[in-house]
Amino acid sequence: MYDSMRDVCIIGGSRYFGKRLMLRLRDAGVNVTVINRGSSPAPPGVTHLVADRDDEAALEAALGERHFDVVIDQVCYTPRQAAIAKRVFRGRTTRYVMTSTMEVYDPATFYDPATFDATAPAVSPLAAVAPAVVGRPVTEGTVDPGAWPVRLDLPWGEEQFRERIGDARYYAEGKRQAEAVFSQDPAFAYVSVRSAHVLGGGAEEFTGRLYHYVDRVGTGRPVVVHREDHPSTFINDREIAEFLFWAAGADFTGPVNANSHGELSATELCALVAAQVGAERPTYAYAGGAGDEVSPFSFDRYYAMDNSRATGLGFTFSKTADWLPGAIAETAAAITTAKGL
Ligand SMILES: NC(=O)c1ccc[n+]([C@@H]2O[C@H](COP(=O)([O-])OP(=O)(O)OC[C@H]3O[C@@H](n4cnc5c(N)ncnc54)[C@H](OP(=O)(O)O)[C@@H]3O)[C@@H](O)[C@H]2O)c1
């Protein structure tokens, strides 16, 4: 398996778990090439190619005659980007791993394929997509990229289109259709890693979502949640980097869910934060009232993934409860530094 992984290309690889993945591969003795737009230099021992992946000619030119055993695509968000990558890497790689997301299962982001009307109620273009059932985590077959309709005619990449359909729908549908482009009439062996919400890494965790909880609970401010908040699934930043490393060196194909064992709701997360930082019991405000937006991990429906495909293929997941206290502590330390306390 890993023996055949000598040359790996990462598209992205300059922040958060992409950076961890790059170093993990390099330190395992793999020849690593990263492609990004050059906002930060690559570390020693890593080949750096500078190109915008949206610019097909520039990507071709930067790659030249290079070939890889595996490409890991960390920043594919639209079917247009997938179509460019599929053309450019056909014949240049034997395996392609795209970092996708559990948001592909978010039923609120499905759409009417006839109109793509953001104001229409969410409907699935595939009759096979079942609504989330409490206590039954979603499996990969719920969204089949082999059958998902692709709409390359839509203005993907245009800000106005994103605004029209909304960030959440743009992100989820862009990922679903990107997976579909790679899966249908494949140019190489293809895997989409559907990552759970990633937590950990302190200041490296640029999304600010765990920061939001640690800061609010730590300073005694209310956290805005749904009146009935449902659990979801998570993964640590180190674990998702390890998972991608494993998926790159394996030989299975198709979508695979990546989440640590154990589910967690926003209010359970608040209680853990309070215990970890020694704060008072958390207080809550409820979504729907005036004031703040609902907090990022509060869900009004059961929203958990089933990781048994990856487990069956040989990956050993940790338990969320084992790493979460450390992730909270890292975030609390980052807040202390940021506030100069
Ligand atoms: N954080 C989460 O909770 C979560 C959960 C599920 C899935 N994900 C997925 O994780 C992935 C991101 O991982 P990461 O944050 O660790 O990222 P990463 O691998 O470091 O990639 C981000 C880097 O990609 C480069 N990039 C962006 N657009 C580019 C373009 N058009 N052409 C070339 N390079 C480009 C940027 O560097 P330059 O500015 O130098 O180009 C950027 O810093 C995404 O696919 C996201 O959907 C994240």
Most informative mutation of 75, 99, 232, 305 for ligand 1 (most atoms within 8 A of CB): 75
Instruction: Tell me what pLDDT residue 2 has.
Output: 59
- pLDDT for 340: 83
Please report the domains of the chain, with CATH numbers, ordered by start residue. Answer: 2-201+233-262+306-318 (3.40.50.720)
Q: Among candidates 94, 93, 53, which has minimal Cα distance to 76?
A: 53
Tell me what the mean pLDDT of segment 308-319 comes to: 98
Give which of 307, 308, 231 is closest to 264, Cα–Cα: 231
DSSP 8-state secondary structure symbol assigned to residue 43: P
Q: How many CA atoms lie within 13 A of 165 on its CB side?
A: 25
Looking at residue 177, its pLDDT comes to 95
Kind of pairing between the strands at 68-73 and 93-101:
parallel
* CB 228, CB 299: distance < 8 Å: no
Q: Among the listed ranges 1-15, 104-118, 129-143, 231-245, which one has the minimum average pLDDT value? A: 104-118
What average pLDDT score do residues 304-317 get? 97
Average pLDDT value for residue range 201-220: 94
* Spatial CB neighbours of 89, under 8 Å, sequence gap ≥ 6: 68, 71, 96, 187, 188
- The number of C-alpha atoms within 13 Å of 304 and in the hemisphere containing its C-beta is 22
The pTM for the full model equals: 0.96
Taking only the tens place, the pLDDT of each residue in 83-133 is 999 999 999 999 999 999 999 998 888 877 677 776 676 777 665 566 667
Atom of ligand 1 nearest to the CA of 53: 32
Judged against a pLDDT cut of 70, whether residue 273 lies above it is answered with: yes
- For atom 14 of ligand 1, the residue with the nearest CA is 18
Report the pLDDT averaged over residues 72-85: 98
Band the pLDDT of 289: cuts 50, 70, 90.
low
CA-CA distances (angstroms) from residue 269 to 58, 102, 212, 231, 320? 44, 19, 11, 10, 11
Ligand 1 centre and the CA of 12: distance in Å? 5
Determine contact, residues 222/284, Cβ cutoff 8 Å: yes
pLDDT at residue number 292:
66
Residue 190: φ, ψ to 5°: -130, 135
| SS3 at position 9 | strand
Mean pLDDT of 326-332: 95
- Rounded to the nearest integer, the mean pLDDT of the chain is 93
Atom number in ligand 1 closest to CA 18: 19
Atom from ligand 1 closest to the CA of residue 175: 47
Ligand 1 atom index nearest CA of 171: 47
Mean pLDDT of 246-264: 97
Lowest mean pLDDT among 2-6, 41-45, 158-162, 190-194: 2-6
Please choose from 19, 36, 59 the residue to mutate so as to test ligand 1's pocket, defined by most ligand atoms within 8 A of CB.
Answer: 36
Confidence check: pLDDT of 66 > 70 = yes
pLDDT, position 293 = 85
Q: Is 296 exposed, middle or buried (0-12, 13-18, 19+ CB in 10 A)?
A: middle
Contacts of 140 by beta carbon, 8 Å cutoff, 6+ apart: 194, 254, 255, 256, 257, 309
* Stretch 321-326: mean pLDDT: 96
Rounded average pLDDT over 279-297: 85
147-179: pLDDT as tens digits = 998 999 999 999 999 998 889 999 999 999 999
Give the pLDDT score at 1: 54
User: Which protein residues touch ligand 1 with a CB less than 6 Å away?
Assistant: 12-19, 36-39, 52-54, 74-75, 99, 101, 195, 197-198, 207
Least confident stretch, 125-134, 201-210, 279-288, 304-313: 125-134
For ligand 1, atom 1: residue with the closest CA: 198
Q: Give the span between the Cα atoms of 169 and 112, in whole angstroms.
A: 12
